[in-house]
Chain A
Amino acid sequence: MPLELSAAQVQALAPDAASAAAGRKLGKPAPWRTLGQSGAAIWGECQGSALYQTQVALSDFASKCSCPSRKFPCKHALGLLFLAVDASSSFAHVSEPEWVASWHAKREASDEKKKARAESAAEKPVDEVAQAKRARKRQELVLAGLDQLDAWCSDRIREGLSRLHGEGASVWESQARRLVDAQAPALASRLRRIGDEVGTSGDWTERTLHELGTIALLTHAYRRLDALSPELAADVRRLVGFTLDQTEVIAHGDLVEDEWSIVADVLEEVDRVRMQRAWLHGRASGRLATLLQFAAGPTGRFAESLVPGTRFGARLAFWPSALPRRALIVERIGAPASRGPLPAGRAVGANLEAFADSLARLPWHDRELLVLDRVVPVVARRGDATTTLLVDDEAHALPLRGEVHDLLLAVSGGHPIAVAGEWDGYALRALVAEIEGRRVDLARPTG
């Protein structure tokens, strides 16, 4: 059986807890009339209120089922994967039935079409005059928007941050809308995020000041794009709201072929849009990459199945940047494998030195994946406040975001463990721990 996912990894694919539970129940041989596997897929026919044909591609865990569920993957696909984990011998090596073979053919045809579209887009003649005109017009809009934003920020400092607490979200929202009108949507999102944090913690004034200051540095830099390196200029444009489509990323970004471990991921939902931010680590290149995916609605499907703890061969294209992190999958190579260990970790000091280097290259770098080796979670109490620290062998410690991390404490028991998480310069969001080779997902516990 080429599939070696763990039950926890299958569970991580589920769109919600109910689907995972339903999938678990179907992860037994009884409901399956037929089961089979080839080098490319596993499949089965599940007897529910009708006979459903379910299949999962081994290259990327994409699935298809004839059931009417709008959830993706559906419980039948999850059940098939759970069964493959628990009882792989139930799957006979047989030739693919027509309904499996035809799905493969369709997917291959679709991939070819995508490639062809990308190639034709790249070859499409560009009306440079019209393009320059559009760019000029946008530049005028953006600059006017930034002037207006700078004035707004200055007003906040003149009036004092303490007033923000009583003014509500509308202050931020109206300014964010102006930025959207000025075609600077990324800045608008950044402003909304700052507004959301007002009054939510004891140090919100300091954090808000830092964030408004960071925006000031960004608008300052935007007005001096010509003085920046092309890579940093690309970052500044991206942070304001200029986007690249996938063809442009492939055309202008680094292309790196490697075996990529999906170290951890973060799932967030804003305004009914789900986002997955997956952190990848290249085995040979040692590079870090973040893949962002979006899906509409609470159960919408992501384009790629990215299961933390697995690894896969692929060529990635990185967005042009002074600190290339965001990437997209150009092409997968071979079938994914499971149980990729965490990348080699480092002590607290070495991790922070690397983060400082990253900031030197890209001062607006929001977050970085840190892998901390041999750290012990410790509860620290200062007055009424309680926090959790990760302490390394040299007695250096980093604070974790939030209060007490019960699960992390439980799996460590005071013994050194490896922890990977997102560091934003202030606190670590712990995502995964590794104890004696066993992964524990801290962001979404299994069971």
Chain B
Amino acid sequence: MNDFLRVAILGTGQVGESRSESTGTRIDPLVDALALPERERAFLLRAGALALATRASGATLRDVARPTPSGEDDLRRPSDRLASSIASVLRRPSDELTLDLLANLAAARLRLPDDVLPIALAEKRASVRARIRPVLGARGLWLAAVRPEWGWALGQDPEASLSPEELGARWDDASAADRLVLLRRARAIDPDLARRLVASSWKQEKAEQRLAWLDAITATLVRDDAPFLVEALGDRSAQVRVAAARMLWQFADSEAASRVRALAESSFARSGAGGVLGRLRSMVGAEKLELEVTLPPEKFDPDWEKVGLVEAAPHGTGRRQWWLTQIMSAVPPDHWLTRFGTTADAIVSAVLVHEFASALLDGLATATVRFGGPSWVRPLYDACARGTTGSSTTDPAGSLAALLAPDDVDVRLRAALRVGELRAIQRFPRPWPREASREFLAGLGTYDPLRSSALRIAALAIPADLLPDSVPDPEVPENDYRAPHYLRELDEFRFIASVRRAVAQESAP
């Protein structure tokens, strides 16, 4: 700070006369020539002239280096029109359209337009970031280096090809989040290495991290994992013990699987005539299957925890029915086809009329998703979709819908669309079958308030090449309180459709 400014800050009344009140420039003699009687007035005129001189001389900095510019992009730049749509979508609160758009841009090898890169890089959620990263392009990665908080875009790529040696070397010093990334990578290239890495740090890690590791390998279980999982049954955390036991259900010859199967067989049996003749009769439909379902005992057996059962039931579910659901979910559903000698349709029909239908269907549906069982998907979906299965946090029909054959989806989706059954409509996988999509689009010309809530879902689910260029407003009855909502949703349909169509058009070679 120069003396002149120091005097101004402290005040001429506070500093002695000897303190410098000159600027040390050619301004001083000019002001002195005015011979002003007041010290402060002369000071202010000097300050004014100094300000003028400062502004006129310019605040130029010299010899400033330029950064290396961003390189050529492998990804194509979208047209100005699509760029404008992308900007609109990214400036909205992030929603399904954002995720859909980002995925479609990546598939079309298009990149984000330059002017929305700052918005994209400011994204905080990991799920959205994962979709943003592939469409940043060279420009986006260049920009990410500008701000430390954008460094996530330059961070370690989960798909990076690290060698087993590199993985092992990084493991010890890696953070909890990075270890998860390393574990997934190790799992993909060498399951044995992954187990060794986990075992090396298992006891030192928190239960939360141990659970995350189990979750990371659950989709790619191999038989060699069994000894490690058996060891985890003795973990100090109950949650880890249960998770390990449930993973062991995948191995039919494991103790956990055998014991839970035995529990299931004692709870779920066919009543009446059994034997070969009975089986034959029920297979040809000559005998209706009747079930004998026994709820587990009143008291939770502590040993059950070791086979993967959780004692505390979700809110609103009876404890014993909850245990029954878990037991049923632990056994591959095809086991019952062999055991009862009948079809999935017959078993589901029998379950439906039983007083514990809800608990049994939940269990069978979860088992079907967990172990597979193609013949179970349709009857279980229909049973779950019409009933009151699931809890506030689970929707068995939702999980099953993803496994339905396309023709089965088509029929059920069309039925749900006709009556505006929103929960069902939301369950079906995307894109929707073409016939169901066409039927929905054909109905857009007519005002139908039952469709209001389906419009946004449809705009995202209908194959992009079927989406129309324009959708006229239908005739709306006067005084219908639902009409404004319908027209708003129709506008949203138009917007989403226009964005998806634009991406589809530009993705064409």
B52 contacts A217, C-beta separation under 8 Å: yes
**B-contact 0/1 string along A43-73, CB 8 Å cutoff:** 0000100000000000000000000000000
- SS class, residues of chain B in contact with chain A: helix
Task: Check: A355 CB closer than 8 A to any chain B CB.
Answer: yes
B61, B63, B87, B472: which contacts A399 (Cβ < 8 A)? B61
A359 at the interface (CB under 8 A from B): yes
Quick one: closest B residue to A17, CB to CB?
B91
Question: Is A29's CB under 8 angstroms from B470's CB?
Answer: yes
Q: Contacts A216-B41, A220-B45; is A157 near B473 (CB within 8 Å)?
A: no
Interface residues of A, CB < 8 Å — how many?
69
Judge whether A162 and B9 touch: CB under 8 Å: yes
Q: Is B101 at the interface (CB under 8 A from chain A)? A: no
Q: Taking the complex as formed, is A166 at the interface, i.e. its CB lies under 8 A from any CB of chain B?
A: no
Bound-state CA distance A163–B69 (Å) is: 47
**B64 to A213, Cβ gap below 8 A?**
no
B84 within 8 A of A: yes
Question: Which range holds the interface residue count of chain B?
Answer: 35 or more
- In the assembled complex, which residues on chain B have CB atoms less than 8 Å from the CB atom of A205? 5, 8-9
Q: Which of B142-150, B195-203, B280-288, B425-433 faces chain A?
A: B142-150
CB distance from B333 to the nearest CB of A (A): 49
Within 8 Å of chain A (Cβ to Cβ): is B65? yes
The chain B residue with its CB closest to the CB of A390 is: B64
CA of A160 to CA of B6, assembled, Å: 9
Min Cβ gap A215→B in Å is 7
Interface contact B61-A397, CB-CB below 8 Å: yes
CB-based contact A410/B38 at 8 Å: no
Checking A157, A206, A425 against B55 with a beta-carbon cut-off of 8 angstroms, the contacting residue is: A425
- With A397-B60, A425-B54 as known contacts, state yes or no: A378 contacts B67, CB within 8 Å: yes
Contacts of B254 in A (CB 8 A): none
Residues of A near B44 (CB, < 8 A) are 153-154, 157, 212-213, 215-216
A7 to B83, CA, bound (A): 12
Q: Is A109 an interface residue (CB 8 A)?
A: no
Residue numbers in A under 8 Å from B88 (CB-CB): 24, 447
**Per-position 1/0 for B100-118, Cβ under 8 A of A:** 0000000000000011111
A411/B51 in contact, CB under 8 A: no
Chain A min CB distance to B84 (Å): 6
Q: Could you say which residues of chain A place their CB within 8 Å of the CB of B51?
A: 209-211, 213-214
For the residues of A in contact with B, the DSSP-based class is helix
Instruction: State in angstroms the CA–CA spacing of A411 and B51 once bound together.
Output: 34
Closest residue on chain A to residue B70 by CB atoms? A413
Report B330 CB to chain A, min CB distance, Å.
52
A363 and B45 alpha carbons, distance in the complex (Å): 13
B139: interface (CB < 8 Å): yes
CB distance from A75 to the nearest CB of B (A): 12
Closest chain B residue to A352 by CB distance? B58
Provide the residues of chain A in CB contact with B63, threshold 8 Å: 395
Q: Are B55 and A426 in contact (CB under 8 A)?
A: yes
Evaluate whether A163 and B473 lie within 8 angstroms (CB atoms) in the complex, with A157-B40, A399-B59, A447-B91 already known. Answer: no
Instruction: Check B470 against A30 for contact (C-beta < 8 Å).
Output: yes
Set of chain B residues within 8 Å of A348, measured between Cβ atoms: 60
Asked whether A389 is an interface residue with its Cβ less than 8 Å from the other chain, the reply is: yes
Is B151 an interface residue, CB under 8 A from the partner? no
Q: Which of B11-19, B205-213, B447-455 contacts A (4 or more CB under 8 A)?
A: B11-19
Residue of A nearest to B143 (CB): A410
* Complex Cα–Cα for A418 and B84 (A): 22
Within 8 A of B (CB), among A345-372: 348-349, 352, 355-356, 359-360, 363
Indicate if A225 sits at the interface (CB-CB under 8 A).
no
* A306 smallest CB distance to B (angstroms): 22
Contact pick for B66, options A30, A216, A376, CB 8 Å = A376
Nearest residue, chain A, Cβ from B40: A154
Residue of A whose beta carbon sits closest to that of B10:
A160
Which listed residue (B45, B55, B61, B70) contacts A217, Cβ 8 A?
B45
Determine whether B249 belongs to the interface, using a CB cutoff of 8 Å to chain A. Answer: no
Could you pull out 10 A-B pairs where Cβ atoms are within 8 angstroms? A31-B473, A157-B44, A212-B47, A216-B45, A348-B60, A376-B66, A413-B69, A414-B66, A414-B68, A440-B115
5 nearest CB pairs, A to B: A160-B11, A425-B55, A213-B47, A447-B87, A213-B48
Apart from A210-B47, A356-B56, 18 more pairs, CB < 8 Å: A25-B491, A25-B494, A30-B470, A31-B473, A154-B41, A157-B12, A158-B13, A161-B9, A212-B44, A213-B45, A355-B58, A380-B64, A395-B63, A409-B146, A411-B115, A414-B67, A445-B115, A447-B115
